[in-house]
Amino acid sequence: MVVIGKKKYESGEGAQFMSRKAALKKLQLTLKDFRRLCILKGIYPREPRNRKRAQKGQSGIKTLYHKKDIQFLMHEPIIWKLRELKVFTRKVERAKALREFSDMRRYLSNHPTLKLDHIVKERYPTFIDALRDLDDCLTLCFLFSTFPSLNHVPRDQSLLCRRLTVEFLHAVIAAKALRKVFVSIKGYYYQAEIKGQTINWIVPHHFGFEPQAKNDVDFKMMSIFVEFYIMMLGFVNFRLYHTLNLYYPPKLTTHDNSEKILVDEETYVSERIAALNVPLINLDSTLQNTEDEELEMDQFTNESEATKLEEAKIEADKIKKLKTLFKDLKVFLNREVPREPLVFILRCFGAEVSWDKLLFVGASFDENDETITHHIVDRPNMTKQYISRYYVQPQWVFDSVNARELLPVEKYLMGCVLPPHLSPFSDNQHDQTYIPPEERALMDPDFRLNDEEDESEEETENENEKEENEIGEEDLENDLKEEIEMNKSDEVNEKEQERDRLKKKMKVKTGEVMKEDPWEKKRLEKQEYRLRERMIKKKHRKLYRSMMEGRKERAKQIWLLRKKRRLHDTVEKQKRKEERKQKKIKVAE
């Protein structure tokens, strides 16, 4: 009996993977449509364990897809829509070439449209799944909302991104879900907590748009991602608004008829919503948000679980206080300050915000209002100032949110040199992380910064100078007396010293403990460590080496940062010393 075996590459990785060319042939799609379909369905190339087997012995590096992923794409109804679009473009081009404009209008009126609702439901079966994957969606939508109309970015897409992102910000304000904020060169980093899921996203700064070359950025590829993310964000916003007991699309609580006459009602409402300054209408005023209710903690008998419960209670109390951080504060924004991020942050924590009416729609009170508590300014001085309010810089808002308490205003007053803006996203619990001195001072109350040390040094120097002046006169008198006594006692001391030497020779000495050589101890420890390294299995050696290289690199970075900080501190210290000297010279003159 002859057993016929399988041919080479018919089983294993050779049969599991497929090249991109083979996938295009099987699906009968162009490369452009295939890319679009893969992005919408969330299918990406895979990296095989053995590339030579997966490529069926062919050399080079090819883009490989799993066979099951391509079979999954074959059942997608969007493929037929893409084919219809292909036929549609051919018909329109033919009618245009033959100058059959009546047929061309008829074709254009029946333009086939892609619907992505079923893909969103397929990729995210539950609302929590959608929230987990919301980071990239929000970052890209906020980026596209800042774009003007370009050839490769549709105008409708950027406008829709703007509307959906503003709606999401309103939902975060209503839920009081914001937790962390950080300002960097890239933009504003935010972290919100919705339904127990932490969502991080970046909002770019509003600068003048500089067009990029096509070779630098693939806008077409990004717009395909945005096409899917718009649909996804629409679903998320709808569900968020209904869980928060709000109308969707959002409706404003108040309308001013006098202003409504001046502009179109639709544009007026959209501008008022974009201002983020007006609360939205609830669906039913009798119902309350479930998130505002106090959580009841379960009781556990186990010690480890009890400690975790206590930690959870402390964290819950902190978040409860954070939600009402800026409550009863009335804040006015100056025209040079970034309006949107500050309004969003301040309203998330319960503050009332306004600005100049001529600047933007949605101002709720004027600058002359005496009840304003804080005036946010980003300039060195102002001609007209009110005594009843604090004039602070914008960083006070961001730092207060990250510290989860209202920080003292003295360091953030108008024209002051600001303290460093620390990132709340860095996790310092891990080993091998550089912690700046300012952050260490916040964590450890006993730790003192260089500024405080310099002040204490200056005080001690002044005290020492006074003491030296008082003691100087007394020392002169004592020196004269000591010289006379020393001459008398020299003769007596010589005889006594000879007696002591003879006595010491006759004494019994106690045994000394042998001290351990630290150099030898380190050498033995290194030897033991090398022996342990040799015991590592062969399959884990590469991983171990890469881990050690990463550790060395991190240690090097920390050393460089510390060195940079030391040099900076020495320069600053020298400047302070020179300033003190100049002050003393002026006082003496």
Which amino acid is residue 248, in one-letter code? Y
CB neighbour class for 188 (10 Å; exposed up to 12, middle 13-18, buried from 19): buried
Task: Identify the pLDDT of residue 260.
Answer: 45
Residue 210: closest CA among 267, 271, 136, 146: 146
Residue 46: closest CA among 67, 21, 25, 75: 67
Q: Which residues contact 191 (CB under 8 A, 6 or more apart)?
A: 178, 179, 180, 181, 198, 199, 200, 424, 425
Task: Identify the pLDDT of residue 197.
Answer: 93
From first to last of its 589 residues, the chain has per-residue pLDDT tens of: 455 667 787 788 888 999 999 999 999 999 999 999 999 999 999 998 888 888 888 888 889 999 999 999 998 888 988 888 889 999 999 998 998 888 888 888 888 888 889 999 999 999 999 999 999 999 999 999 988 777 777 778 888 999 999 999 999 999 999 999 999 999 999 999 999 899 999 999 987 666 666 667 788 888 899 999 999 999 999 999 999 999 888 887 654 444 444 445 667 677 878 888 888 888 766 655 544 455 555 555 566 777 788 888 888 888 888 888 899 899 999 999 999 999 999 999 989 999 988 888 888 888 888 899 999 999 988 888 888 899 999 999 999 999 889 999 998 999 888 888 888 887 655 556 777 777 777 666 666 666 555 555 555 555 555 555 555 555 545 665 666 566 556 666 777 777 777 777 777 777 777 778 888 888 999 999 989 888 988 888 888 989 889 888 988 988 898 899 889 888 988 888 888 888 888 887 7
375, 334 Cβ separation under 8 angstroms? yes
| Number of residues that make up the chain | 589
Unique residue bearing structure tokens 């992380």: 433
Does the global pTM surpass 0.85?
no
Radius of gyration of the chain (CA): 36
Q: How far apart are CA 20 and CA 62, in angstroms?
A: 8
End-to-end Cα, the chain, rounded Å? 116
181, 398 Cβ separation under 8 angstroms? yes
Burial 313-324 (b: 16+ CB within 10 A, else e): eeeeeeeeebbe
Task: Identify the pLDDT of residue 258.
Answer: 43
Strand partners, 193: 198
3-class secondary structure, 65: strand
Task: Identify the pLDDT of residue 43.
Answer: 92
Domains of the chain: 13-109 (no CATH), 117-206+217-287 (no CATH), 321-425 (3.40.50.10190), 430-453+542-589 (no CATH)
What is the greatest pairwise CA distance in the chain?
133
